[in-house]
Amino acid sequence: MEQNVLLQLSHISKRFKTDLALVDISMSLHPGEVLGFLGPSGAGKTTTIKIITGQLRQTSGEARILGTDSTNIDASIYEKIGVVSDNSGIYEKMTVWQNLVMFAQIWGVSNARVEEVLRQVGLAKHRKKQAGKLSKGQTQRLVLARAVLHKPKILFLDEPTSGLDPATAVEIHKMLLDLKAEGMAIFLTTHNMEEATKLCDNVALLHKGEIVEFGSPQELCLKYNTNKRYQVLLDGNEELVLEQNPENIDKIAGWMRKNQVQRIHSCEPTLESVFLQVTGKALSA
């Protein structure tokens, strides 16, 4: 295994009866890296996380997490990872504080660390609230708090902001960037391309169980910027989108010489349009 690799997937495939859910997935994750698995519903994102974390067994290939084969994970590995998925595992009758302290005791984590995490996720003032009475966004923050209490080396997030309002999603993004800055590696699945663009160092575009593209969001957007276009706002608020060709370049140069250009932007594709170009399928579908 390559040095300094926290997670390495080699040629993982998964078949459910006759359905191929994952096809020959290979990738690796390093400290402080945020890796995004990007794909629409049914692409195989959750299946990938389940295989890596030992909740599901692959049909072929190998996953190694912190040096251990994922089919052979024990408690010593669970002490070093955190998982945020649909099944929140929060005790609704207990308060925010009680929920966290219970896990802190299991992990051997101090109450001081619980305080620190509570502040980090912005739940300090809700510590006495019953978990079942939290809003959706607050619940997700509690789930995140629980997942990072023991300072895991890898945090797995399965669509962490799905169904949250945009403002709460932004707060969660801030927390994730803080955790990344602390050196935590994050494996994130999402169908939200803006989230992936903002958070991920690298993204794997997943289509029908296959990685069809891999790279940094910027790299991919530039790679698929084959049909270069410019958006120009002229005096009199006339807005135009022009393809890059000799004729249009002369036009733009002419306007610039006459000082008639108020604003000019290049139109790189977004990850969403890259995904559409590569797969012919929209991410939100």
Ligand X SMILES: Nc1ncnc2c1ncn2[C@@H]1O[C@H](COP(=O)(O)OP(=O)(O)O)[C@@H](O)[C@H]1O
- Which residues sit at the interface with ligand X, rule CB under 6 A? 16, 19, 21, 39, 41-47
Closer to ligand X at the Cβ: 50 or 153? 50
Please give the Cα distance from 283 to 203 (Å, whole number): 14
43 binds, among ligand X, Mg ion, none (CB under 5 to 8 A by kind): ligand X
21 binds, among Mg ion, ligand X, none (CB under 5 to 8 A by kind): ligand X
Chain residue whose CB lies nearest Mg ion: 46
What's the closest the beta carbon of residue 240 comes to Mg ion, in angstroms?
42
> Near Mg ion by CB under 5 A, which window of 43-51, 56-64, 117-125, 212-220?
43-51
Q: Which of 48, 63, 54, 58 is nearest to 210 (CA)?
A: 48
Contact call for residues 86 and 158 (beta carbons, < 8 A): yes
Residue 121 half-sphere exposure toward CB, CA atoms < 13 A: 24
What's the closest the beta carbon of residue 42 comes to ligand X, in angstroms?
4
- Other beta carbons within 10 angstroms of residue 272's beta carbon come to 18
Burial class (CB in 10 A: 0-12, 13-18, 19+), 76: exposed
Would you call 237 helix, strand, or coil by DSSP? coil
139 touches Mg ion (CB under 5 A): no
> Near Mg ion by CB under 5 A, which window of 5-13, 42-50, 63-71, 219-227?
42-50
Identified binder of Mg ion from the candidate list 7, 25, 46, 283, rule CB under 5 A: 46
8 binds, among Mg ion, ligand X, none (CB under 5 to 8 A by kind): none
Q: Which of 111, 106, 186, 181 is nearest to 144 (CA)?
A: 186
190 touches Mg ion (CB under 5 A): no
105 binds, among Mg ion, ligand X, none (CB under 5 to 8 A by kind): none
What's the closest the beta carbon of residue 19 comes to ligand X, in angstroms?
6
Count residues binding Mg ion (CB under 5 A): 2
Burial class (CB in 10 A: 0-12, 13-18, 19+), 265: exposed
Closer to ligand X at the Cβ: 44 or 217? 44
Closer to ligand X at the Cβ: 83 or 117? 83
Please give the Cα distance from 18 to 131 (Å, whole number): 41
| Furthest CA-CA distance within the chain | 71
What's the closest the beta carbon of residue 219 comes to Mg ion, in angstroms?
25
Q: CA separation (Å) from 154 to 147, 150, 179, 258?
A: 10, 11, 10, 56
Closer to ligand X at the Cβ: 31 or 42? 42
Closer to ligand X at the Cβ: 74 or 86? 86
What's the closest the beta carbon of residue 139 comes to ligand X, in angstroms?
20
What's the closest the beta carbon of residue 85 comes to Mg ion, in angstroms?
8
100 binds, among Mg ion, ligand X, none (CB under 5 to 8 A by kind): none
Please give the Cα distance from 185 to 139 (Å, whole number): 22
